Amino acid sequence: MLKNKTSMKIGAIIQARVGSTRFPNKVLLPLPYNSNISVLEQIIKRIKKSKIIKEVVIATTNKKADNIIESLSNKLGIKCFRGNESDVLSRFFYAAKENNLDIIVRLTGDNPCIDYTLIDLILKLHIKGNNDYTETKFYPVGTNVEVLSFKAIEKAFIEASTPFEREHVTPYIHSNPNKFKVVIKDAPKKYYYPDIRITLDTEEDYALLCAVYDYLYPKNEYFNAYDIVNLFKKKPWLKRINEKIVQKKICYSLKEEIKEAVKVLELQDLKKASTLLRKYLEK
């Protein structure tokens, strides 16, 4: 039996662990720099400002190293679900099911500049359209929003069979648009800055985030996407801090993966290897 819109439970699930391959323990780093607030705590603070979200859940792994994530969750009074490290789809599904969530905002522990006003806007769009999956594109990297209905997560959980489909939450949905109502919302002109990267994967990213927080946080702890865009317009040199970092991307084929490899090689000026792979792509 379907619930009416007023009785639906809307929550946020934050995927967080300490075992990042590129930058271990990044979610526990202080932000602002030298403060006593971690990256993960900033994400929680921001999502709690939402007028629509009623529940915040941390989804971490069963590994011993992530005991610290559970301890932090308990300290902050946030629910923590622990599940399979490699089957992220399973972990996400059971976190949503255990907390009886009908609509879920999917967040990761590396985006401490999320904009709760944008999240609420996309949630309203998702609910009004009765969508299965709603996402934004082309906002600054680290501020885009994903919203899923539980029925879509459940369908993906039941039907997804390959390791690739299960080690992430959304590949099965993206690969089967005929089975889901998917809505993609492109950023309007004033927010259309996909070349701004304020997510946390590397030490360079952390340096940039510290700079962004130094400029914006003292004036408004909940600075939004528009504040970020304006800051980069005024101080375009900020982009240079992490301009050589390639955003991690989910690749759906070998060809896509090779294209991403070419980007990395060219940034490192490894021209012989990149030329070789380009020839492969032209076949």
Closest to 173 measured CA to CA, from 260, 106, 112: 106
Do residues 144 and 225 make contact, with C-beta atoms less than 8 angstroms apart? Answer: no
User: CA 27 to CA 19: how far, in whole Å?
Assistant: 10
* Run of H or E including 153: helix 150-159
What is the mean predicted confidence (pLDDT) over 116-121? 98
Do residues 148 and 133 make contact, with C-beta atoms less than 8 angstroms apart? Answer: yes
Distances (CA, A) of 78 to 53, 112, 127, 280: 13, 17, 25, 49
What is the mean predicted confidence (pLDDT) over 84-93? 96
Least confident interval from 1-15, 95-109, 126-140, 152-166: 1-15
pTM (2 d.p.): 0.86
Per-residue pLDDT at 247 exceeds 70: no
Per-residue pLDDT at 124 exceeds 70: yes
Distances (CA, A) of 272 to 84, 104, 259: 40, 45, 15
What is the mean predicted confidence (pLDDT) over 134-155? 98
pLDDT in tens, 169-204: 999 999 999 999 999 999 999 999 999 999 999 999
Q: Burial of 163 by CB count in 10 Å (0-12 exposed, 13-18 middle, 19+ buried)?
A: exposed
> In the numeric block, which tokens belong to residue 131?
């969508």
Per-residue pLDDT at 252 exceeds 60: no
The per-residue pLDDT for 281 is 73
| Residue that has been written with the tokens 């896509």 in this structure | 256
Residue 1's pLDDT band (boundaries 50, 70, 90)? very low
Return the percentage of the chain with pLDDT > 90, whole number: 80
> In the numeric block, which tokens belong to residue 195?
């070349």
In the sheet that holds 182-186, the strands lie side by side as 79-83, 55-61, 10-15, 103-108, 146-149, 133-137, 182-186
Strand residue runs (E) in the chain = 10-15, 55-61, 79-83, 103-108, 133-137, 146-149, 182-186
User: CA 69 to CA 271: how far, in whole Å?
Assistant: 42
The per-residue pLDDT for 253 is 60
Strand residue runs (E) in 99-186 = 103-108, 133-137, 146-149, 182-186
Average confidence score pLDDT of the chain: 91
Give 14's strand partners: 58, 107
Least confident interval from 124-138, 159-173, 183-197, 248-262: 248-262
H runs (alpha helix) in 160-202: 163-166, 171-175
